[in-house]
């Protein structure tokens, strides 16, 4: 496959790195992770919610999510509950764009007492205002699915890749990294995404128990802004059916 942008690795031991949203998410899609650009209507809701928090945090002390999250990030705030018209866009992405996630969902609910009658439920999302040198250590989430939405990326990825001298390993500066543990040999198998400005407006959806981490960036004094959240399942109730009829 030919890529428009490729970073030439100066290390004698390292491979060149294809850059950009399409190149960087191709491998994730092969793993069954959903990588899509959010429809404008949905992205605009998240953008407005983040802008509102951004204005308020400069004037008043806000509720934070730090004690509920793994991040070594000073500013992490809850956003409002996602409205129905946005979840109507978000939920189908979870199971229509990836057969892997579709199967993961069906396997997940098999162990539930209400496996034949359930609905997806988006928990309250949060926004990360990540500054230079901050990071998110390796962690996973609760629920069925988790997602990351890229709101603003302040640095040039080439500057990040070249910040340190060439070493014996491929650089991971500013990377988002997913990984799985092999229970047979107790080894961790990582795959990194070189997140750049082309990721803005994109969403990644993945199994909530998938381990991931975010390395620090070094070359910008502005903030890297992302939204994250979890999607759970809950029993289907009569009120949910009435709500569906109301919205038809």
Amino acid 99: pLDDT: 87
DSSP 58: T
Amino acid 131: pLDDT: 98
Of residues 153, 146, 155, the one with CA closest to residue 204: 146
Instruction: Give backbone dihedrals phi and psi of 136, rounded to 5 degrees, phi first.
Output: -120, 110
Dihedral of CA atoms 67, 81, 150, 180 in degrees, nearest 10, equals 60
Going along the chain from its start, the domains and CATH numbers come out as 13-159+169-247 (2.60.120)
For each of the chain's 248 residues, which pLDDT tens digit applies?
567 799 999 988 788 999 999 999 998 888 889 999 999 999 999 999 999 999 999 899 999 999 999 999 999 999 999 999 999 999 999 988 888 898 988 888 886 655 567 889 999 999 999 999 999 999 999 999 999 999 999 999 999 999 999 988 889 999 999 987 666 666 778 889 999 999 999 999 999 999 999 999 999 999 999 999 999 988 776 555 445 434 44
First vs last C-alpha separation in the chain: 44
Amino acid 6: pLDDT: 94
Cα distances (angstroms) measured from residue 127 to each of 4, 86, 164, 212, 227:
31, 17, 29, 17, 4
Tell whether the torsion through CA atoms of 78, 80, 81 and 85 is positive or negative: negative
Structure tokens at 212: 């991931």
- Give the H or E element holding residue 204: strand 202-207
Q: Are 132 and 75 in contact (CB under 8 A)?
A: no
Amino acid 182: pLDDT: 67
Q: Are 22 and 66 in contact (CB under 8 A)?
A: no
Dihedral of CA atoms 110, 113, 117, 123 in degrees, nearest 10, equals -90
Q: Are 85 and 41 in contact (CB under 8 A)?
A: yes
């Amino acid at each position: 496959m030919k890529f428009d942008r490729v970073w030439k690795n100066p290390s004698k031991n390292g491979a060149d790195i294809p850059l950009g949203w399409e190149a960087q998410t191709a491998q994730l899609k092969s793993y069954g992770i959903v990588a899509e650009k959010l429809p404008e209507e949905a992205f605009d809701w998240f953008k407005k919610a983040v802008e509102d928090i951004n204005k308020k945090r400069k004037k008043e002390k806000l509720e934070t999510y730090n004690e509920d999250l793994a991040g070594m990030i000073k500013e992490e705030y809850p956003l409002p509950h996602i409205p129905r018209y946005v979840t109507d866009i978000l939920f189908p992405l979870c199971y229509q764009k990836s057969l892997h996630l579709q199967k993961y969902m069906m396997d997940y609910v098999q162990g539930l007492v209400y496996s034949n009658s359930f609905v997806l439920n988006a928990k309250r999302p949060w926004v990360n205002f990540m500054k230079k040198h901050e990071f998110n250590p390796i962690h996973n989430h609760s629920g069925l699915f988790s997602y990351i939405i890229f709101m603003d990326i302040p640095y040039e990825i080439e500057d990040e890749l070249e910040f340190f001298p060439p070493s014996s390993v491929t650089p991971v500066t500013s990377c988002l990294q997913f990984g799985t543990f092999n229970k047979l040999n107790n080894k961790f198998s990582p795959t990194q995404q070189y997140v750049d400005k082309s990721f803005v407006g994109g969403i990644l959806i993945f199994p909530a128990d998938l381990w991931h981490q975010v390395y620090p960036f070094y070359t910008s004094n502005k903030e890297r802004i992302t939204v994250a959240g979890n999607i759970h399942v809950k029993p289907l109730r009569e009120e949910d059916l009435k709500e569906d009829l109301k919205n038809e």
